[in-house]
């Protein structure tokens, strides 16, 4: 019942899988519930169609525009590590630190929000980010079960993302989109690119194929 998985660690092979021979490697190999599809785990042919639509949001110019945000958040990460590293053992919880860094990048690049996860311990964004990146024992078991027994998981309707986490971020996206459209507010981030694609569906017909993994 389990599905064998090949983990690519050779750089040259990864280049072939992600670019040169991408047409042969369209599926991500992750479990997904058809009712709660995510772009990261959706399979072909839905993935191929979604990728073509999403590629315009990841042009080199738009990605470069987000680079300074990543640098700023990287500085916050460095400061956090300096403050929290154990003076005796030299150890630090790097998984938690990188989770905060990722949360801040997602919040700023995707939603235009300054989450400041390193300094605000009880923010809703950080709380739900923790639930996703640092799952409890029950969710960790579900994830392992979903990956090893996908057919049974789909039959049972198991979710690959906790419901409270997906509901929170979906609500945030809907509220942000509604605010921007109502107030004619724009910002150079990923969410704005999605809004433009939503409001200009004809432009998707000219979307070029990129080499971005969602």
Asked whether the bond before 45 is cis by omega within 30 degrees of 0, the reply is: yes
Tell me if 50 is assigned to some domain. Answer: no
pLDDT for the residue 210: 37
User: Using the 8-state DSSP alphabet, how is residue 157 labeled?
Assistant: T
pTM beyond cutoff 0.85: no
Q: What is the pLDDT of residues 74-88, one digit of tens each?
A: 999 999 998 888 777
Count of structural domains, the chain: 1
- 197: nearest Cα among 214, 177, 182, 167: 177
Parent domain of 154: 65-206
Query: What is the rounded distance in angstroms from the CA atom of residue 128 to the CA atom of residue 14?
Result: 32
List Cβ neighbours of 107 (8 Å cut-off, separation of 6 or more).
Answer: 113, 114, 115, 117, 125
Query: What is the rounded distance in angstroms from the CA atom of residue 184 to the CA atom of residue 95?
Result: 39
> Using 50, 70 and 90 to split pLDDT, how confident is the model at 213?
very low
Tell me if 144 is assigned to some domain. Answer: yes
List Cβ neighbours of 5 (8 Å cut-off, separation of 6 or more).
Answer: 29, 147
Query: What is the rounded distance in angstroms from the CA atom of residue 5 to the CA atom of residue 10?
Result: 15
Q: Are 203 and 56 in contact (CB under 8 A)?
A: yes
Percent of the chain whose predicted confidence (pLDDT) is above 90: 7
Q: Of residues 188 and 33, which shows the higher confidence score?
A: 188
Tell me if 58 is assigned to some domain. Answer: no
Tell me if 113 is assigned to some domain. Answer: yes
């Amino acid at each position: 019942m389990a599905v064998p998985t090949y983990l690519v660690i050779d750089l040259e092979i990864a280049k072939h899988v992600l670019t040169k021979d991408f047409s042969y490697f369209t599926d991500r190999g992750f479990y997904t519930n058809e009712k709660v599809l995510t772009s990261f785990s959706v399979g072909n042919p839905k993935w191929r169609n979604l990728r073509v639509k999403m590629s315009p949001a990841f042009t080199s110019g738009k990605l470069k525009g987000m680079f300074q945000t990543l640098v700023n958040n990287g500085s916050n990460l460095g400061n956090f590590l300096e403050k929290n590293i154990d003076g005796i053992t030299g150890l630090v919880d790097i998984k938690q630190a990188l989770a905060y860094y990722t949360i801040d990048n997602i919040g700023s690049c995707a939603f235009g929000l300054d989450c400041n996860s390193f300094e605000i311990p009880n923010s809703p964004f950080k709380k739900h980010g923790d639930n996703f990146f640092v799952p409890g024992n029950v969710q960790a078991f579900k994830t392992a079960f979903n990956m090893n027994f996908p057919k049974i998981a789909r039959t049972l309707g198991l979710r690959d993302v906790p419901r409270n986490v997906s509901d929170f971020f979906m609500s945030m996206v809907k509220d942000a989109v509604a605010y921007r459209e109502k107030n004619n507010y724009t910002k150079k981030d990923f969410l704005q690119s999605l809004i433009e694609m939503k409001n200009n569906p004809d432009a998707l017909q000219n979307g070029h194929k990129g080499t971005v993994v969602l």
